[in-house]
């Protein structure tokens, strides 16, 4: 974040609270806007950000400094690595999740869940099956189980992502840290599914183990 670009003001409630006899600097609440720029020389993209802030003590002194908590980036930085082989639909949902993760954990979890569904579409995991003469739609859980038959490790990871997503979609009680957990787990699943180097190493190890030597 470019510190020189920060523009912050105290909220109306915070200003009014300064008349309270027990007022303390850490009661201060701020809203801010700022600019940021990627330091990757191959990118150098600029972004706007906004959020909230306040005052916090500096060590054990009586001095205070401002702190800021971003709640929105435009565009958002990539929060995980996304393999180039991911479909446009998967990437689109992930970018929406990245943008939401800063201030709306429930929305981010919904986009992560949809990204998993689009991933299963890309991998051609069936959406339905015929049972007793009727076509029945598979749940997300069932589709992940079907994927796990060929990719058990990735399947386990995607189930964990689904459970976190359920918590956000159905109860709304999800933290930013839990959203980041879901993204980290999803990144590992994507690596298992699309990283050719990882697959080659596993095949090499399997061949060496079967020969009991190089």
The answer on pLDDT for 10 being more than 80 is yes
Q: How far apart are CA 54 and CA 24, in angstroms?
A: 12
CATH class of 78-214: mainly alpha
Reported as a pLDDT band with limits 50, 70 and 90, residue 171 is low
The answer on pLDDT for 118 being more than 90 is yes
User: Strand order in 29-37's β-sheet?
Assistant: 7-10, 29-37, 46-57, 64-74
Question: Which residues, in sequence order, are CB contacts of 171 under 8 Å at separation 6+?
Answer: none
Q: What is the reported pLDDT for 195? A: 85
Question: Which residues, in sequence order, are CB contacts of 66 under 8 Å at separation 6+?
Answer: 8, 30, 53, 54, 55
Taking residues 12-23, report their average pLDDT. Answer: 92
* CB 109 within 8 Å of CB 179: yes
The answer on pLDDT for 127 being more than 90 is yes
Q: How confident is the model over 20-74, as pLDDT tens digits?
A: 999 988 899 999 999 999 888 888 899 999 999 999 988 887 889 999 999 999 9
Q: How many CB atoms lie within 10 A of CB 194?
A: 18
CA distances 69 to 29, 45, 50, Å, are 11, 21, 8
Segments in the chain forming alpha helices (H): 12-17, 88-101, 105-122, 140-148, 152-166, 176-194, 196-211
pLDDT above 70 covers what percent of the chain? 98
- Give 62 or 158, the one with higher predicted confidence: 158
User: How high does pLDDT run on average in the chain?
Assistant: 91
The answer on pLDDT for 202 being more than 80 is no
* CB 12 within 8 Å of CB 29: no
pTM over 0.85: no
Taking residues 179-206, report their average pLDDT. Answer: 89
What the block records as the tokens of 203 is 């095949």
* CB 34 within 8 Å of CB 7: yes
Q: How confident is the model over 64-116, as pLDDT tens digits?
A: 999 999 999 999 999 999 999 999 999 999 999 999 999 899 999 999 999 99
Token pair 């990627």: residue: 38
Pairing of strands 128-131, 64-74: unpaired
**What residue segments make up the domains of the chain, in order of their start?**
1-75, 78-214
Q: What is the reported pLDDT for 172? A: 63
């Amino acid at each position: 974040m470019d510190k020189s670009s920060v523009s912050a003001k105290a909220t109306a409630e915070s200003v009014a609270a300064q008349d309270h006899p027990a007022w303390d600097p850490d009661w201060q609440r701020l809203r801010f806007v700022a600019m940021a720029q990627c330091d990757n020389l191959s990118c150098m993209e600029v972004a706007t950000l906004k959020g909230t802030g306040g005052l916090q003590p500096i060590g054990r002194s009586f001095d205070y400094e401002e702190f800021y908590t971003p709640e929105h980036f435009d565009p958002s930085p990539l929060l995980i690595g996304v393999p180039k082989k991911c479909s446009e639909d998967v990437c689109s949902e992930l970018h929406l999740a990245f943008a939401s993760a800063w201030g709306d954990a429930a929305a981010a979890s919904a986009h992560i869940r949809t990204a998993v569904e689009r991933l299963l579409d890309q991998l051609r995991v069936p959406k339905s099956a015929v049972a007793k003469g009727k076509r029945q739609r598979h749940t997300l859980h069932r589709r992940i189980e079907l994927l796990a038959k060929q990719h058990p490790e990735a399947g386990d990871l995607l189930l964990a992502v689904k459970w976190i997503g359920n918590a956000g979609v159905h109860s709304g009680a999800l933290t930013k840290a839990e959203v980041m957990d879901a993204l980290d787990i999803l990144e590992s699943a994507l690596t298992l599914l699309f990283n050719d180097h990882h697959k080659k190493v596993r095949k090499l190890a399997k061949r060496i183990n079967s020969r009991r030597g190089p």
